[in-house]
């Protein structure tokens, strides 16, 4: 089912690798902080201020501890109560600061997580069809989305925690230097090995997560098969549940064993290195106790120094942990920024550039060109990673207002022809012109505004009937008369009549009170959606009526023919009674045009089309 990806053990320590790790840990700090600040500037400023304030509180509490002990030793009741009161006030203030900090970080996390997800989706809508068919890019999208809600805010909070603990640590160092500089050095050196170990294991964890991205998507796919209405009928009838559930369990167990092995190694190393830090603390504690016993320091000083060493050790460890977390976060943030850096030709519709210089829907600028229509000039296309051509040497002119039918076996290249025309792909060779202008020079938005397309694999939106149709032209979704007209043109009036809530009926079973439709009913709704674009002057039907019977399909195409008079129309169908209605028929075999002409011309030619027509005619006999 999938390869087992076991991360290698952490590499032996080397200063150069540690240095490069430190450098890597700050690589995405600035862009992450910019993301957070753009998302919630007031929250970022508030968190920074509260974080700095919280850095000095432990020092005041430690000093008050010294003053309390010295007052007790001096048997000064008034001073003892006074300093206890101050320490209690500092503890309450510190608690309030921590609660406020937690609240602000939670608010920032919620806001930033939502904004980063929106940023990812804005980028996703600019991806081209080829990107979604590329498994590596799809993995980048998956990895970016998986940690979008947590990693950006974690990078920001880790940075602020590093600043906070660094300031606290420097304060403790100032206290300890008054006692012994060697103690300070021991404090620092004892914490470094644990930080290096954490950084190594953070890197191993990241590599494990990234390596098994394809298997993670496979696990999610198996879950989708087993737990969605789209597959339930076939899974039950064919008895597939045992097979797929077995594969799911096998893959999930594989993930568990990989995680278990890594977590056990990480825990063992963490415990062993914690022993080093503990031993260092008690050696320092012993030296301080001897100094106090010999009278070289007061009992209050001993209390303060012990607290300073213990908490200074923890503060320094927290600094190194924050650096380790930032290093790990940097690795995960690289997934986000690598995804956002993918080069695309499209622009997100949410961005202001999209509408700049765009002609409103339904309008068409005056054409300065010599011809009106679509022209394919020696167009060829080869899918990425393939050695055979999906289309080759396609030269064809479709005048404005002509009705063209594409005929050929499955895989002949008909749908690829349509996808190239819609600029879902770019030609590998040759070019396509609209009104004499290369379609790559057209605004992508304006180009697609001129097209109404219904594909064979149309979407079944789990939305209301109104929205399922209105999505064909979002600018007219609020125009009920326009929607009803499209419903009639798409042949879905009988479907609408059976809905208890009319246009407001929820379609599909994903949400409460949803009504599931048959395949033929869904196709009628999809056709109605295609007819919403009455202003489009190029209408395309790519086998959208496969689930309709021959009579219903013929009626749809008769209506389609009437509604497209004066417009360019392209249709793909395997049913020849429908195809014969087109002004011209083009036969595609193995990616090439082998015949073209009217229905009668092609029958008279007695070629490939005539052969296919006769085979189908025998089926109806």
Helix (H) or strand (E) holding 149: none
274-303 CB burial, b ≥16 within 10 A, e <16: eeebeebbeebeebbeebbeeeebeebbbb
What is residue 553's predicted lDDT score, i.e. its pLDDT?
Answer: 67
User: Residue 480 — φ and ψ, nearest 5°?
Assistant: -65, -35
pLDDT: which is higher, 515 or 307: 515
What is residue 429's predicted lDDT score, i.e. its pLDDT?
Answer: 93
Helix (H) or strand (E) holding 265: helix 241-293
Of 78-87, 322-331, 521-530, 543-552, minimum mean pLDDT range: 543-552
Percent of the chain predicted with pLDDT > 90 = 9
Identify each DSSP E strand in 166-297 by its residue range: none
* The 3-state secondary structure of 447-494, one letter per residue: HHHCEEEECCCCCCCCCEHHHHHHHHHHHHCCCHHHHHHHHHHCCCHH
What is residue 396's predicted lDDT score, i.e. its pLDDT?
Answer: 93
What average pLDDT does this structure show over 435-456?
Answer: 85
pLDDT: which is higher, 373 or 146: 373
**Do residues 539 and 519 touch, judged by C-beta distance below 8 A?**
no
Per-residue DSSP letter, 267: H
pLDDT: which is higher, 92 or 298: 92
What is residue 377's predicted lDDT score, i.e. its pLDDT?
Answer: 93
**Do residues 373 and 400 touch, judged by C-beta distance below 8 A?**
yes
Pair of tokens at residue 142:
């998956």
**Do residues 312 and 169 touch, judged by C-beta distance below 8 A?**
yes
What is residue 3's predicted lDDT score, i.e. its pLDDT?
Answer: 43
What average pLDDT does this structure show over 75-83?
Answer: 83
Q: Is the pLDDT of residue 552 over 90?
A: no
User: Residue 133 — φ and ψ, nearest 5°?
Assistant: -90, 0
Percent of the chain predicted with pLDDT > 70 = 76
Q: Give the closest residue to 447 by CA, choosing from 538, 583, 547.
A: 538
Three-state secondary-structure class, residue 393: strand
Instruction: For strands 538-542 and 568-572, give the pairing.
Output: parallel
Burial label, 439 (beta-carbon count in 10 A; 0-12, 13-18, 19+): buried
pLDDT: which is higher, 376 or 205: 376
CA 158 – CA 319 distance, rounded (Å): 9
Q: Give the closest residue to 406 by CA, choosing from 427, 421, 424.
A: 421
Pair of tokens at residue 376:
């394919």
What is residue 586's predicted lDDT score, i.e. its pLDDT?
Answer: 92
What average pLDDT does this structure show over 177-186?
Answer: 70
| Domain range summary for the chain, segments of one domain joined by + | 28-340
- Rounded to 10°, the helix 299-340/151-177 angle is 150
Q: Is the pLDDT of residue 7 over 60?
A: no
What is residue 313's predicted lDDT score, i.e. its pLDDT?
Answer: 66
- pLDDT per position as a tens digit, 453-482: 887 777 888 888 998 998 888 888 888 999
Cα separation values, 315 from 164, 319, 438, 526, 611, Å: 9, 6, 64, 62, 83
- pLDDT per position as a tens digit, 380-418: 999 877 888 999 999 999 999 898 999 888 888 888 898
Q: Give the closest residue to 446 by CA, choosing from 365, 376, 539, 533.
A: 365
CA 342 – CA 62 distance, rounded (Å): 52
Average pLDDT over the chain, rounded to an integer:
77
What is residue 489's predicted lDDT score, i.e. its pLDDT?
Answer: 83
Pair of tokens at residue 417:
């022809």
CATH architecture of 28-340: Up-down Bundle (1.20)
Pair of tokens at residue 412:
């002949």
**Do residues 361 and 537 touch, judged by C-beta distance below 8 A?**
no
pLDDT: which is higher, 109 or 303: 109
CA dihedral defined by 409, 412, 413, 418, rounded to 10 degrees? -10
pLDDT: which is higher, 7 or 40: 40
What is residue 434's predicted lDDT score, i.e. its pLDDT?
Answer: 92
| pLDDT band at residue 229 under the 50/70/90 scheme | low
Q: CB count, 10 Å around CB of 341?
A: 9
What average pLDDT does this structure show over 177-199?
Answer: 69
What average pLDDT does this structure show over 145-173?
Answer: 74
CA 320 to mean position of chain CA atoms: 31
| Phi/psi-derived region of residue 534, left when phi > 0, alpha when psi is between -120 and 50, beta in every other case | alpha
pTM confidence score? 0.61
Helix (H) or strand (E) holding 583: none
* Residue 112 neighbours by CB under 8 Å, 6+ apart: 35, 36, 39, 40, 152, 153, 156
- Rounded to 10°, the helix 15-25/181-211 angle is 70
What is residue 351's predicted lDDT score, i.e. its pLDDT?
Answer: 43
320-338 CB burial, b ≥16 within 10 A, e <16: bbbbbbbbbbbbbbbbbee
**Do residues 553 and 546 touch, judged by C-beta distance below 8 A?**
no
Three-state secondary-structure class, residue 373: strand
Pair of tokens at residue 595:
């015949």
Q: Is the pLDDT of residue 310 over 80?
A: no
**Do residues 4 and 256 touch, judged by C-beta distance below 8 A?**
no
What is residue 515's predicted lDDT score, i.e. its pLDDT?
Answer: 87
| pLDDT band at residue 349 under the 50/70/90 scheme | low
CA 417 – CA 15 distance, rounded (Å): 58
Length in residues, the chain: 621
Q: Give the closest residue to 270 by CA, choosing from 339, 196, 214.
A: 196
Per-residue DSSP letter, 588: E
């Amino acid at each position: 089912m999938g390869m087992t990806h076991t991360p290698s053990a952490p590499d032996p320590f080397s200063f150069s690798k540690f240095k490069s790790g430190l450098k890597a840990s700050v690589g995405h700090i600035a862009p992450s902080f910019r993301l957070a600040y753009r998302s919630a500037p007031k929250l970022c400023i508030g968190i920074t201020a509260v974080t700095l304030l919280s850095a000095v509180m432990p020092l005041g509490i430690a000093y008050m501890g010294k003053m309390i002990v010295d007052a007790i030793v001096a048997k000064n009741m008034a001073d003892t109560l006074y300093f206890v009161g101050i320490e209690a006030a500092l503890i309450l203030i510190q608690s309030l600061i921590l609660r406020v900090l937690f609240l602000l970080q939670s608010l920032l996390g919620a806001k930033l997580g939502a904004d980063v997800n929106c940023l990812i989706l804005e980028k996703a809508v600019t991806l081209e069809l080829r990107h979604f068919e590329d498994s590596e890019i799809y993995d980048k999208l998956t990895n970016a989305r998986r940690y979008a809600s947590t990693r950006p805010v974690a990078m920001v909070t880790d940075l602020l925690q590093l600043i906070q603990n660094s300031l606290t640590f420097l304060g403790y160092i100032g206290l300890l230097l008054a006692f012994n500089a060697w103690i300070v050095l021991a404090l620092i050196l004892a914490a470094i090995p644990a930080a290096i170990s954490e950084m190594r294991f953070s890197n191993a964890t990241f590599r494990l997560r990234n390596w098994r991205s394809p298997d993670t998507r496979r696990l999610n796919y198996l879950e989708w098969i087993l737990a969605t209405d789209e597959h339930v009928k076939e899974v039950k009838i064919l008895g597939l549940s045992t097979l797929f559930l077995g594969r799911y369990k096998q893959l999930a167990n594989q993930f568990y064993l990989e995680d278990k092995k890594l977590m056990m190694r990480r825990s063992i190393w963490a415990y062993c290195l914690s022993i080093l830090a503990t031993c260092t603390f008690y050696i320092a504690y012993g030296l301080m106790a001897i100094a106090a016993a010999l009278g070289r320091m007061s009992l209050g000083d001993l209390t303060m120094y012990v607290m300073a060493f213990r908490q200074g050790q923890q503060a320094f460890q927290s600094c190194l942990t924050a650096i380790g977390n930032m290093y790990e976060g940097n690795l995960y943030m690289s997934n986000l920024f690598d995804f956002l850096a993918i080069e695309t030709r499209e622009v997100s519709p949410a961005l202001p550039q999209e509408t700049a210089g765009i002609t409103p829907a339904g309008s068409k600028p005056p054409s300065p060109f010599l011809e009106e229509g679509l022209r394919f000039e020696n167009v060829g296309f080869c899918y990425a990673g393939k050695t055979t051509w999906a289309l080759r040497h396609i030269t064809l002119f479709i005048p404005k207002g002509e009705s063209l039918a594409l005929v050929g076996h499955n895989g002949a290249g008909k749908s690829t022809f349509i996808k190239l025309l819609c600029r879902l792909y770019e030609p590998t060779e040759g070019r396509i012109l609209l009104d004499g202008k290369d379609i790559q020079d057209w605004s992508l938005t304006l180009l697609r505004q001129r097209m109404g397309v219904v594909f064979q694999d149309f979407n079944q939106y789990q939305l209301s009937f109104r929205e399922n149709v209105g999505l064909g032209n979002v600018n007219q979704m609020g125009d009920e008369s326009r929607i009803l007209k499209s419903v009639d043109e798409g042949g879905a009036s009988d479907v609408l009549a059976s809905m208890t809530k009319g246009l407001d009926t929820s379609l599909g079973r994903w949400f409460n009170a949803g009504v599931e439709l048959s395949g033929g009913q869904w196709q009628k709704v999809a056709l109605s959606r295609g007819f919403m674009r009455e202003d489009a002057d190029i209408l395309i039907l790519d086998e959208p009526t496969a689930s309709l019977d021959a009579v219903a399909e013929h009626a749809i195409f008769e209506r389609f023919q009437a509604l497209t008079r004066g417009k360019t129309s392209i249709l793909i169908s395997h049913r020849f009674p429908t195809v014969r209605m087109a002004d011209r028929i083009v036969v595609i075999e193995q990616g090439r045009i082998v015949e073209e002409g009217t229905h009668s011309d092609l029958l008279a030619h007695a070629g490939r089309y005539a052969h296919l027509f006769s085979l189908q005619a025998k089926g109806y006999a």
